[in-house]
Amino acid sequence: MSTPSNTDADLLCINTIRTLSMDAVQAANSGHPGTPMALAPVAFALWQRVLRFDPDDPIWPNRDRFVLSAGHASMLLYSVLHLAGVKAVNAKYEQLGELAVSLDDIKRFRQIDSRCPGHPEYRWTSGIETTTGPLGQGLATSVGMALASRWMAGYFNRPGFEMFDFNAYSICGDGCLMEGISGEAASLAGHLKLSNLCWIYDSNRITIEGKTELAFSEDVRARFTGYGWNVVHVEDANDLNKLGQAFKAFQDTTDRPTLIIVDSHIGYGAPNKQDSHSAHGEPLGEEEIRLTKRNYGWPEDAKFLVPEGVREHFQAGLGDRGRSLRADWMQKFEEYKKAHPELADALYKMQHRQLPDGWESCLPTFPADAKGLASRDSSGKVLNAVAQKVPWLMGGSADLAPSTKTRLTFEGAGDIKPGGYRGRNLHFGVREHAMGALLNGLALSKVRPYGSGFLIFSDYARASIRLSAIMEIPAIHIFTHDSIGVGEDGPTHQPVEQLPSLRAIPGLITLRPCDANEVVEAWRMIMKLRHEPVALILSRQALPTLDRSVYGAASGLAKGAYVLADAPDGKPELLLLATGSEVSLCIEAYEQLKKEGIHIRVVSMPSLEVFAHQTKEYRESVLPPGVTARVAVEQASGFGWERYVGLDGQIIGMNTFGASAPLKELQKKFGFTPERVVAVVKSQLGRS
């Protein structure tokens, strides 16, 4: 990449980015103008001169990815998307023929229904590759994108057909580098030698509280060198030539990721705001804006001005380059379809979140077995069967694959390792938070990723899980060791509040299957999801495989809850509700109560969220409103079960943390025994 000469048109574009950002923040009376003003040259240099991106088709599969990890600087990105003429695409991958960000959207920055919300939102504005805002998340997500590029290259590329080689770029600030997730992600990226990853660090020495020296004095260059990164320093964010040289250094580096440290002055051009934290998180004020525009040689009273020639300049650079690259790729894909039809079909299906034909034929059926299997074990069997049919299903664990049973063991599965990305097993290391964000980056790139760990450690990944739900992407979060059944490891490893807290995340589906055949149905559901992330909750201890010729079919899982065992006349006196390992416990109680002539119904409720979305008629057929005597059983906090048992029902759950002891002793201590369930049922019915 040669370094182009700088022109007056370049400076005009840069100052347009700055003034649009200032005006939008001022109109909203809310937002962060300083960073967009300071980094306008950086964003311009990257988008106009480097990025492989077609504004007319912002979802072209081999486009470079740009992530604004410093999401508070959202006006920087919105200004670029508008000036570059990026077109809108809907959820059906249809081009709408309108701008993704109109000037009216910018004028309504941070207002209801504007395509310019306070922080960049995926699925809301075309050209936004991921939702950002929580600092460091964008950085870690970009690692997933870079890894996806390398994996897809390994799977799809063939001689003469380089279908995937995109780069991932992310702009971050001091806050992003302070957050622990960035360290986790940078460490893993360096280990994997992801040379298609470039982070641009805005070193402006300012945070909300003031100078960074209040809390941040580390040697960032040394830190990233230690991670195994190439580090480049640009001493002035306004130096387009030095920025160009830095991006060339990234492109020439083939054995490691690159960090470009860019020194900037926040609120650049604002005479009274340079190096002032007030320009970071609040509008400049009308007088300050006039003075700043005067400093730029800009009409002082003009608002939201886009001078003639700015949009045309972007089109002659980014636009022409992107259209040419995309056209070449699309032509090559047509040839690829003839030379490698099966791979081309897989590429298309993966990009459109479709599944290979006949993938369900691999799903097993487990015979009834009183001893049974731990649901983590049955899940491992099903996962391996599905992964052989769905080549782009890949993932791993936070250093716990032997325990979570998530390793793919079939021939050819292989490991993803430094410089070798063709495998299907990904080793995240002990990095739960980064793992969650990497899953998001992989899913946004259209591979189907899963990550796993113990349920108790979902707390470490919660911010990333929450973002997968906000973005409506089908990341798969597998959690084992789901209850006090962990036993001797004690309270620190026994999840109590995690289940209800995950259920509280809007858009996240939690699934806690009760036996091996519910596990099969869980995976059948999971693989068909296109816009919902899922938390699959599995046991360490063995669960009896129920005899489905006697009890309800496991396919009922698809509706979230179903009648597993019923009163002889279909008219129960009491409803007994449970999930996971407690379902078989309820079946034991049911059989005992049936012998005593007490008519109850056992309902397996593997997913409260899915059940809540069923029709009223179905919900009432499972939980008849007239049957008010109800008991819920779950080895977790009872929070949330009131919705289904009512104020007069009873919950057999955890009201404290657990304890360190063998499983059977814990079950007895905390009341998870058939005898306790029977006693509570009789109490509810007034038959104590």
Residues marked active site are found at 432
Each as own residue / partner, the long-range contacts of residues 551-558 (CB below 8 Å, 24 or more positions apart, any chain) are 551/587, 552/604, 554/515, 554/517, 554/518, 554/520, 554/521, 555/521, 556/521, 556/604, 557/511, 557/513, 557/518, 557/521, 557/522, 557/525, 557/604, 557/606, 557/607, 558/521, 558/524, 558/525, 558/610
What totals of helices (H) and strands (E) does the chain contain, helices first? 26, 22
Residues 6+ apart with CB under 8 A from 26: 33, 283, 284, 285, 286, 289
Distance, CA of 443 to CA of 436 (rounded, Å): 11
Alpha carbon 497 to chain centroid, angstroms: 22
Within 13 A of 447's CA, how many CA atoms are on the CB side?
A: 30
Distance, CA of 3 to CA of 190 (rounded, Å): 28
Distance, CA of 131 to CA of 80 (rounded, Å): 17
Plot region of 332 (φ>0 → left; ψ -120 to 50 → alpha; else → beta): alpha
Residues counted in the chain: 688
Could you write out the DSSP letters of every residue in 11-44? HHHHHHHHHHHHHHHHHHT-S--HHHHHHHHHHH
| Amino acid making up residue 444 | L
Distance, CA of 237 to CA of 533 (rounded, Å): 39
The pairing of strands 369-374 and 425-427 is unpaired
